Structure 1
Amino acid sequence: MIRAEDLHDLARLHDPSGVLSVYATVDPQAENAVPAPWQVTIPRLLADLGRHATGPVRNRLEAIEPELKTLLDAGVAGRGRALFATVDGGAVRLLRVQSALTDTVRLAGSAYLRPLAVAYSAAAPAGIVAVGGHGLRVVDCRLGWAELVGAAEYRPGTRSRTPNRRSGSQRDRHEHRATAHLERFLTGCGSGLAGFGARPDWEHLLVTGDTELVTAFAARLPDLPHTEVVRAHHVAAAALPAPRIAALVATDLRAARQHTHLRLAVMARDIAHAGGAATAGPEDTLRAAAQGRIRRLLLDGAARLADRYGAGAELDELLIEQTYRAGGAVTIVGGPAAEALAGCAGVAALLHP
């Protein structure tokens, strides 16, 4: 499970001799090809790097061959893989996600993090709660993974063995009491959601399932700092496996993320124009990044900013690295959110006060 802290740690990797960043994406439709495309592309890129590299770099490539084999192994879980290693030695970081990344090899003074930033923005940590007559299931979704992290089973107690002998009004009262009891059970689960696997880094909490129960559950959730509660339009039954629950509400979660991206982009742009704690445009944002003041960086994913400041890297890559290094968040946007940033060269940021 990748957390924002992992990205912050990677941004702090630095080696004057170089940091090797290797990304590979396993294409499920090409898994049966021999050799698979990524098992051709990455070794070729590594060989090209080795031919033009210094002795220490070639020695490091030889030393991390086992980790590179694991990176390319089709039998290992995770569609997207990333490896980071400093030339002068030390631990090798190998990350696996279910989101697609890219196929590339980079050697620079620090880790190349843009592909992870793109994937993290499109599939940031979120929670899904599926509620139903038999209880609830809590699913953690991040970077393509869907994992069941909590569940609560509802046991209504002993029921009458002769319900059909009751009058209509008696049955109605019984059903009303049963529904009220179930709602109280789910409300109790909601108030103690942290005990059912809720994660503090969830940007969204999507609630799905029986419509009436969803309404009752969502209305009584406690205040969740930094987490937006969203009621799903699509229904996923609580009894389903976690990946199936996530697949059924994927459209709702994608729309919630896009709405949040647009809100953040407009907020940063407008606050910056009003002279508040935000920046709009490359120069002010780069200055704030160098000072470690960025709380959330917003970048148009289609805008690649040329280096005009002697930084030795694309400006967007430098902004991503500096933001993560200071513990900030990075959001790569597209669509309406990118349009909101068009007047500021595709870059803005919300700052710490």
Structure 2
Amino acid sequence: MAELTDEVGVLSIYVNRDPQARAEGSNRPPWEVRLRQQLSQLRDRVKEQGPREHWKALEQRLDELGPDLDGLLDPTSSGQGGALFATVAGGETHRFAVQRPLPDQVVLEPRAYIRPLVTVWSTAGPAGAVSVSEDELKLVDLRFGYAEPVGSIPVRPESEVTRTLQGPAASNPQLGQHSAPQHDLYERREDEKLLRFLRTLGPHVAEHVSNREWGYLALTGDATLVQAVQESLPAQLPAEVVPLEFRAHSLTPPKLAATVEPALGEARQRHHRELAERARSNALSANAGAYGLGETLGALQEARVAHLLLAADGRWEGGRTRDGFLAPAGEIPPGFTADDLIPEPHLAERMIERAFLEGADVTMLDGDEAEPLADAGGVGAILRW
């Protein structure tokens, strides 16, 4: 979406279909009232400020988007948060739904406005949950508030569960020798077989981690079973493993998600704060880090940023030249004059775009996660060099 652009503009519409909200004095839900008002204000602004052909193109495009807008605003649509992106001249349309709140917002810019999506990705991005029992290993995909089963592996065939191991009974002078169940020996052998099999499943789980871009992996089940699976995972697994000792095999995917999400949330917060601390430490030791708006903008424009870090509630002012060079408010880049700078009301958005287009990661930091960057205005980066 960071690459979506249009000669007239990209219309970015976000809505929060709050199930607790109720319409007040209207048959329309409150989020629809707010969005319709913002669209009306946008129409007026483009008519007053933009070329007439741009206003006419926007009016025509909004008429074409009528069914898409109705679906986006429909209280019965999937997900609490919805997003619609539409190029005005190009006729391209994209819709997204997340089971997380989004702001009620309408933006028309040369590129798609994606900051709210990046925020949701940072707080509820792709993760996986594995529930392991003596009979089956289940995998569930967790992202943006949704839980979807994606695979299962039988651990022990049904025929083996009821088998018993027969052998001679212990010596008893009053009884003749005969065959008797040796349940303890059989169970020990079955347990060993089970653990050996579980220790072969790591590569299969790792394949799901890679293909589905899971940043975190929750492992649930009896401690011995969880440990067996965890030990088989590759050392360079691109996900933080969160082992949880409780039986979740009988839970539905949504209930499993609700059970593991607090631990996954703590893991995210811990990791995000570590990223911020690393950026600060690297910058202050003249290593591969940027600390503050000026340093971060400079590194972005030199394509040196590996991971951009922004406070989720941060607001930054600045300007840009016609060729896209970004500068903090009050600073004039070398080789330019004040007249060369155009005010940039969405500086964070420009930073996010630049980072994605250069192949960098972006994380929005919430609350205590951003504390290490407080003295830097909530902006920092881990650099490639």
Greater Cα shift, 343-352 or 194-203: 194-203
Secondary structure at the aligned position of 2:108 is classed as strand
> What is the 5 A alignment of 1:268-307?
268-307=279-318
* Match among 213, 230, 240 for residue 225 of structure 2: 213
Contact 1:285–1:348 under 8 Å retained in 2: yes
1:256-281 deviations in Å (ceiling 9; x for gaps): 10011011111111112222222111
Count of aligned residue pairs for this structure pair: 342
State how far apart, in whole Å, the 1-side matches of 2:64 and 2:358 are. 31
Greater Cα shift, 192-201 or 47-56: 192-201
Match of 1:186 in 2: 198
Secondary structure at the aligned position of 1:208 is classed as strand
TM-score normalised to the size of structure 2? 0.82
User: Judging changes above 3 Å, is the alpha-carbon distance between structure 1 residues 223 and 52 closer, same or farther for their aligned structure 2 residues?
Assistant: same
State how far apart, in whole Å, the 2-side matches of 1:21 and 1:50 are. 14
Contact 1:11–1:113 under 8 Å retained in 2: yes
Contact 1:138–1:198 under 8 Å retained in 2: no
Matched, 1:174 2:167: no
Secondary structure at the aligned position of 2:344 is classed as coil
User: Judging changes above 3 Å, is the alpha-carbon distance between structure 1 residues 195 and 114 closer, same or farther for their aligned structure 2 residues?
Assistant: closer
State how far apart, in whole Å, the 2-side matches of 1:152 and 1:278 are. 43
* Match among 38, 48, 53 for residue 31 of structure 2: 38
User: Judging changes above 3 Å, is the alpha-carbon distance between structure 1 residues 198 and 282 closer, same or farther for their aligned structure 2 residues?
Assistant: closer
1:95-141 deviations in Å (ceiling 9; x for gaps): 11111111110111221111111111101211111111221111111
Match of 1:93 in 2: 94
State how far apart, in whole Å, the 2-side matches of 1:92 and 1:67 are. 9
Secondary structure at the aligned position of 1:248 is classed as helix
Query: Radius of gyration: which is bigger?
Result: 2
Secondary structure at the aligned position of 1:30 is classed as coil
TM-score normalised to the size of structure 1? 0.89
Match of 1:17 in 2: 8
**Unaligned runs of at least 5 residues, structure 1:** 1-9
User: Judging changes above 3 Å, is the alpha-carbon distance between structure 1 residues 302 and 92 closer, same or farther for their aligned structure 2 residues?
Assistant: same
**Unaligned runs of at least 5 residues, structure 2:** 47-54, 171-179, 319-328, 332-340
Match of 1:262 in 2: 273
* Match among 226, 235, 245 for residue 223 of structure 1: 235
Match of 1:6 in 2: none
Match of 2:63 in 1: 62
Contact 1:123–1:143 under 8 Å retained in 2: yes
Greater Cα shift, 75-84 or 220-229: 220-229
State how far apart, in whole Å, the 2-side matches of 1:246 and 1:203 are. 15
Q: Which structure would you say has the larger RCO, counting Cα contacts within 8 Å and 6 or more residues apart?
A: 1
Greater Cα shift, 102-111 or 71-80: 71-80
